[in-house]
């Protein structure tokens, strides 16, 4: 299981976090949160994983309908070694 958090950005309504064992983010897990201090944990289950790909982006709500405007994704990869 891998965990992560990120630096707070002022004036932001929330964050979208995505993690995958695939570089193209196929079969990814997406989590939304309003607090950058929330801890996000992803488990690869029984799979042997050596690299975890993760990204996060912030959003603001721009109208009463809940329409969101997103920042670019911030990509990272984590070498988790052999399980």
**Which sequence spans correspond to the domains of the chain?**
2-79
* 75: its two tokens: 């990509």
Give CATH for domain 2-79.
Answer: 2.60.40.10
* 68: its two tokens: 């969101």
Buried b (16+ CB within 10 A) or exposed e, 18-53: bbbbeeebeebeeeeeeebeeebebebeeeebeebb
- Under the phi-then-psi rule, with left for phi > 0, alpha for psi from -120 to 50, and beta for the rest, what region is 56? beta
Residue with tokens 């309504």: 13
- pLDDT tens track for 61-75: 999 999 999 999 987
Q: pTM score, two decimals?
A: 0.72
- pLDDT tens track for 4-58: 667 777 899 999 988 888 888 888 888 888 877 766 666 666 666 667 788 889 9
């Amino acid at each position: 299981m891998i965990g992560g958090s990120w630096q707070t950005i002022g004036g932001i309504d929330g964050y979208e976090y995505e993690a995958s064992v695939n570089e193209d983010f196929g079969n990814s897990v997406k989590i939304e949160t309003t607090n950058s201090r929330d801890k996000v944990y992803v488990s690869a289950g029984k799979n042997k994983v050596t690299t975890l790909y993760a990204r996060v982006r912030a959003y603001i709500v721009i109208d009463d309908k809940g329409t969101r405007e997103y920042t670019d994704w911030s990509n990272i990869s984590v070498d988790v070694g052999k399980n």
